[in-house]
């Protein structure tokens, strides 16, 4: 009998049970899907780094001789050390390759050439072709680059290194763990895999007779002592310029930061989905059980055991939430997880990756089921504690006289009947009203945040490429360019130059490495203040970026003790100003100030507004970059964010519609008796409809007003906490975004309630009034 009642109740209240299912499903679907790809990123990289033995320490020196390698190997906890020589090479005749993003011929193609001896650390992962051997002629090429522009094993490339041309056969397509994430230079934001890549060659293939090994990589036995090992190497081995750990490596840190950033903003969104859905479902189940009050009393009066009644009502929420949660996890992994992991990995070079489901996802799903089950149980128990005779009667609303005292005032009496009726109803149904406000405000906030992230990223791109980068072309100079080459370049393209070098500065008891950019660009590389306005730097000290100033509690007027990495000259310099940079936290100064120090200024970049579109190679220049290409690279990366935002908007809108519809059903079912009474009293349909819609419109407007600033706050929170230490920008949401989000939510509220208002015509006055006697 009870089983038939369950089926009959579900069918009778199918709208409510469908909304319960959808709310739980959407919450788990979003939470599980986002975690599937973020945790998949982390787990895939962990396995890759471990299997290919990613180095623990990176070392630089003027030259790592065999004797120096032996010194390093003798240090405690050093398992192995290898040396390498890295230099950029230009590919001759790059126009034979097509950039698939623009469908045009490549104007330049640069390879970072790594000449190595052995390969026990940072092992090459061969995707196609031969395994690495020191005695094998040829090169092992970046797999992603090769596949994107159409290079295959067996193809021959002609390379140019500092004026020396040589040919090499592609013997393998590879990926390497310390090149998971890499970019052309500091002006590029994301890898494009079209005009820049890496390759590995045996040191025997180096085209010149003389070479040195300025880089070495170290593998340690005990990861917990890696800091101590690094310090011992710097202390005991003479000539070590820098010794950095994994967290300081650009590739490792960049990939890790992306995973952490994604976890922050996706966690905020998916957490809100779960919170809003649980709140809505819990309220719905509580209302449903209260609506069944007389039937519970009837079952109790008929002598049916209390445990059977409780079990029957608990099953309503339990089984629906279990089914919705299981489907949410499965489809979230398959649809969201796999889709976004594939998109994310277009920018990161990991040979094997897959989604991952961590225990937290299961805990959240189980938690949702338990909360719904518990609320249903408590609601049912509360009714069963009453005598059967009491439970058979409708529960009278608890109205406090003081709360309604203002309804006797003259001002209140001047209001229309529908307004007075709704004010009283809101006061009597505070829980339902608060739930409606929270649900609508939460969904609006999600939409504002999703669109706000898009606005903010576009604002960041404009700041970086339309304000700071005030040039058309950037020439990255070779490390060993000659004076003759330099003079020829500046005579043709101008002398707007800069140099970026590593400096160490003392902060409390630490020595911290940060970049210092010496700016002599004549306004082509600009600096901006907090409000993104450009200004001219003074010549009597150094500047520090705003975020770096905050991180290390350094302010204008403070003295900083620092030295250029590799130099023994320490300086105490006054901080004379603060500038703000969206993607580089560093020190800045003018060349005029730098010339007062005992250091050599050797430019590494030249900026120009000359037309270099037909120039393919310049002697003494490694790469020629156009600011438009850099901007296009950034916009192409935003395509992934567009897709993620589209998903978040889609889920937010669906969740909003479901919640608003569910709240409307709850509101209608609770007022059905009153509406039936009004119909008996002769009120026309349009008057009752006005009463029903007016309250929900009020709630919708109030919720939207609350949600708009909260959406701005959440967007700002995401950008301040999700992005890495090297970035500095906040929420910049356009007014049209607030208008669109607010009006859009209000329109959904209005349309849903218009549709629900049609149920008023179908109210059976006799059954509605008799059923509550």
pLDDT tens digits for 147-168? 999 999 999 999 988 778 999 9
Same domain membership, residue 372 and residue 275:
yes
Mean pLDDT calculated for residue range 450-474 = 87
Calpha distance 254→189 (Å, rounded): 11
d(CA 190, CA 211): 31
Residue 145 tokens read as: 């680059």
In a 10 Å sphere around its CB, with 0-12 CB exposed, 13-18 middle and 19+ buried, how is residue 157 labelled?
Answer: buried
Per DSSP, 161 falls in state E
Q: Are 43 and 67 in the same domain?
A: no
Say if CB 244 and CB 57 are below 8 A apart. yes
Q: Which of 396, 413, 441 is the endpoint of a domain?
A: 396
Is residue 617 situated within a structural domain?
no
Least confident of 215-224, 258-267, 595-604: 258-267
Element of type H or E holding 504: strand 496-507
Paired tokens of 664: 């409307």
| C-alpha separations of 465 from 108, 453, 460, 515, 632 in Å | 21, 18, 9, 20, 10
If you average pLDDT over residues 528-538, what whole number do you get? 94
Q: What are phi and psi of 133, to 5 degrees?
A: -150, 140
Lowest mean pLDDT among 354-368, 391-405, 448-462, 467-481: 391-405
Do both 69 and 44 map to the same domain? no
Contact between residue 121 and residue 53 where contact means Cβ atoms under 8 Å apart: yes
Shared domain check, 39 and 68: no
Same domain, 67 and 214: yes
Using 50, 70 and 90 to split pLDDT, how confident is the model at 714? confident
- Cα 167 from chain centroid (whole Å): 42
Same domain, 84 and 174: yes
- 253 located within any domain: no
Burial of 701 (0-12, 13-18, 19+ CB in 10 A): middle
Q: How far is residue 576's CA from residue 559's CA, in Å, rounded to a whole number? A: 9
For the chain, the average pLDDT equals 83
Give residue-wise pLDDT tens across range 288-345: 666 666 766 666 666 777 777 777 777 777 888 899 999 999 999 998 889 888 888 8
% the chain with pLDDT above 70: 86
**587 — pLDDT class (breaks 50, 70, 90):** very high
Asked whether residue 769 falls in the same domain as residue 705, the answer is: yes
Among the ranges given (235-239, 247-251, 265-269, 423-427), the one the predictor scored with the smallest mean pLDDT: 265-269
The yes-or-no verdict on residue 681 having pLDDT over 60 is: yes
Q: Model confidence over 359-413: pLDDT tens digits?
A: 988 998 898 888 888 877 777 777 766 665 555 565 555 555 555 555 556 666 6
- Tell me: pLDDT of 81 over 60: yes
Whether 257 is covered by a domain: the verdict is no
Mean pLDDT of 105-122: 90
Instruction: Note whether 656 and 749 are same-domain residues.
Output: yes
The predicted pLDDT at position 721 comes to: 72
Domain-located, residue 349: yes
Check pLDDT > 70 for residue 767: no
pLDDT of residue 255: 84
pLDDT tens digit sequence for 168-187:
999 999 999 999 988 776 65
Q: How would you write 373-386 as a 3-class SS string?
A: HHHHHHHHHHHHCC
Distance from CA of residue 670 to its chain's centroid? 42
Whether pLDDT at 245 is above 70: yes
Q: Is 139 helix (H, G, I), strand (E, B) or coil?
A: strand
Q: What confidence tier does 351 reach under pLDDT thresholds 50, 70, 90? A: very high
**Which pLDDT value is given to residue 86?**
92
Distance CA 623, CA 24 (A): 53
pLDDT tens across 484-511, in order? 999 999 999 999 999 999 898 988 877 8
Identify whether 490 is part of a domain. no
- Banded pLDDT at 28 (limits 50, 70, 90): confident
Residue 25: which H helix or E strand, with range?
helix 14-51
More confident residue, 330 or 753: 330
Same domain, 107 and 171: yes
One domain, residues 544 and 676: no
Report the alpha-carbon angle 656-286-705, nearest 5: 35
DSSP string, 641-692: HHHHHHHHHHHHHHHHHHHHHHHHHHHHHHHHHHHHHHHHTT--HHHHHHHH
Structurally, the chain folds into a number of domains equal to 4
- Residue 119, pLDDT > 70, answer yes
Q: Give Cβ neighbours of residue 155 (< 8 Å, ≥ 6 apart).
A: 169, 170
Tokens 């919705």 belong to residue = 324
3-state secondary structure 566-609: CCCCEEEEEEEEEEECCCCCCEEEEHHHHCCCCCCCCCCEEEEC
| Predicted confidence (pLDDT) at residue 678 exceeds the cutoff of 80 | no
Please check whether residue 411 lies inside any domain of the structure: no
Is 0.85 surpassed by the pTM of this model?
A: no
- Cα(282)–Cα(597) distance, rounded to whole angstroms? 69
Six-digit token string for 73: 């190997």
Counting runs of H as helices and runs of E as strands, what totals does the chain give? 21, 23
Tell me whether residue 250 is in a domain: no
449 and 510 share one domain = no
Using a 10 angstrom Cβ sphere, with 0-12 exposed, 13-18 middle and 19 or more buried, the burial of residue 410 is exposed
Q: How far apart are CA 681 and CA 204, in angstroms?
A: 100
Pair 188, 232 in one domain: yes
Place 265 in a pLDDT band, splitting at 50, 70 and 90.
low
Q: Which of 238, 255, 274 is the last residue of a domain?
A: 238
pLDDT given for residue 264 in this prediction: 67
Residue-range definition of the domain harbouring residue 338: 1-50+264-396
pLDDT at position 764, please? 62
* Mean pLDDT comparison of 1-5, 139-143, 392-396, highest-scoring range: 139-143
Return the bridge partners of 58, or none.
217, 244
User: Which residues lie below 8 Å from residue 623, measured CB to CB, with a gap of 6+?
Assistant: 88, 108, 110, 184, 185, 196, 475, 476
Nearest by Cα to 172 from 136, 119, 122: 136
Q: Shortest CA distance to 646 belongs to which of 456, 453, 361?
A: 453
Q: What is the pLDDT of residues 416-442, one digit of tens each?
A: 777 877 887 787 777 778 877 887 888
Asked if the structure places residue 221 within a domain, the reply is: yes
């Amino acid at each position: 009998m009870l089983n038939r009642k369950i089926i009959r109740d579900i069918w009778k209240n199918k709208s409510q049970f469908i909304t319960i299912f959808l709310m739980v499903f959407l919450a788990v679907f979003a939470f599980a899907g986002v975690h599937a790809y973020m945790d998949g990123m982390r787990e895939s990289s962990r396995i890759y780094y471990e299997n290919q033995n990613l180095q623990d320490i990176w070392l630089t020196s003027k030259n790592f001789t065999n004797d120096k390698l032996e010194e390093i190997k003798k240090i405690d906890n050093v398992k192995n050390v290898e040396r390498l020589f890295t230099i950029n090479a230009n590919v001759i005749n790059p126009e034979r390759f097509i950039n698939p993003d623009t469908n045009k011929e490549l104007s330049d193609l640069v390879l970072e050439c790594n000449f190595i001896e052995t390969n026990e650390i940072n092992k090459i992962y061969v995707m196609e072709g031969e395994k690495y051997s020191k005695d094998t002629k040829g090169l092992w090429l970046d797999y992603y680059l090769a596949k994107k522009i159409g290079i295959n094993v067996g193809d021959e490339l002609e390379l140019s290194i500092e004026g020396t041309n040589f040919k090499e056969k592609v013997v393998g397509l590879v990926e390497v763990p310390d090149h998971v994430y890499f970019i052309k230079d500091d002006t590029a934001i994301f890898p494009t895999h079209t005009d820049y890549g890496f390759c590995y060659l045996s040191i025997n293939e180096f085209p010149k007779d003389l070479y040195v090994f300025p880089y070495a990589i170290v593998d340690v036995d005990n990861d917990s002592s890696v800091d101590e090992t690094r310090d011992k190497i710097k202390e005991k081995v003479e000539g070590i310029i820098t010794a950095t750990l994994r967290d300081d490596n650009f590739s490792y840190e960049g990939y890790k930061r992306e995973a952490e950033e994604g976890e922050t903003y996706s966690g905020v969104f998916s957490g809100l989905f779960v919170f809003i859905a649980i709140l809505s479902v819990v309220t719905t189940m509580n209302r449903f059980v209260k609506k069944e009050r007389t039937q519970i009393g009837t079952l109790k009066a008929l002598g049916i055991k209390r445990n059977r009644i409780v079990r029957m009502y608990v099953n309503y929420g339990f089984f629906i939430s279990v089914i919705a949660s299981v489907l949410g996890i499965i489809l979230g992994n398959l649809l969201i997880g796999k889709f976004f992991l594939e998109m994310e990995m277009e920018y990161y070079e990991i040979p094997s990756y897959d989604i991952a489901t961590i225990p937290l996802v299961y805990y959240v799903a189980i938690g949702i089921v338990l909360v719904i089950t518990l609320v249903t149980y408590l609601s049912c128990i509360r009714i069963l504690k009453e005598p059967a005779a009491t439970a058979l009667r409708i529960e009278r609303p608890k109205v406090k006289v003081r709360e309604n005292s203002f309804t006797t005032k003259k001002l209140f009496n001047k209001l229309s009947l529908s307004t007075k009726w709704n004010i009283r109803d809101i006061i009597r149904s505070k829980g339902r009203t608060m739930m409606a406000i929270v649900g609508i405000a939460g969904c609006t906030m999600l939409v504002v945040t999703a669109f706000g992230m898009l606005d903010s990223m576009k604002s960041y791109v404009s700041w970086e490429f339309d304000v700071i980068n005030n040039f058309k072309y950037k020439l990255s100079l070779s490390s060993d360019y000659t004076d003759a080459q330099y003079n020829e370049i500046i005579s043709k393209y101008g002398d707007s130059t800069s140099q970026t070098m590593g400096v160490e500065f003392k902060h409390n008891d630490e020595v911290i490495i940060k970049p210092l950019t010496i700016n002599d660009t004549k306004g082509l590389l600009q600096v901006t203040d907090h409000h993104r306005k450009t200004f001219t730097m003074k010549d009597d000290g150094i500047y520090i970026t705003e975020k770096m100033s905050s991180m290390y509690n350094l302010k204008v007027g403070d003295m900083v003790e620092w030295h250029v990495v590799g130099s023994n000259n320490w300086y105490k310099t006054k901080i004379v100003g603060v500038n703000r940079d969206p993607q580089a936290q560093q020190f800045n100064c003018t060349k005029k100030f730098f010339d007062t120090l005992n250091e050599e200024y050797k430019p590494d970049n030249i900026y120009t507004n000359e037309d270099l579109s037909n120039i393919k190679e310049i002697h003494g220049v490694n790469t020629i970059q156009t600011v438009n290409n850099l901007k296009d690279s950034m916009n192409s990366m935003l395509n992934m964010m567009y897709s993620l935002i589209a998903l978040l908007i889609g889920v937010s809108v669906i969740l909003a519609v479901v919640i608003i519809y569910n709240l409307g059903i709850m509101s209608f079912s609770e007022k059905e008796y009153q509406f039936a009474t009004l119909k008996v009293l002769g009120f026309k349909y349009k008057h009752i409809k006005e009463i029903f819609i007016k309250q929900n419109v009020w709630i919708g407007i109030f919720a939207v007003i609350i949600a708009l600033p909260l959406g701005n706050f959440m967007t700002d929170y995401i950008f301040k906490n999700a992005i890495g230490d090297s970035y500095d920008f906040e929420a910049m949401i356009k007014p049209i975004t607030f208008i669109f989000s607010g009006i859009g939510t209000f329109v959904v509220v209005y349309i849903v309630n218009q549709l629900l208002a049609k149920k008023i015509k179908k109210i059976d006055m006799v059954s509605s009034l008799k059923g509550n006697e």
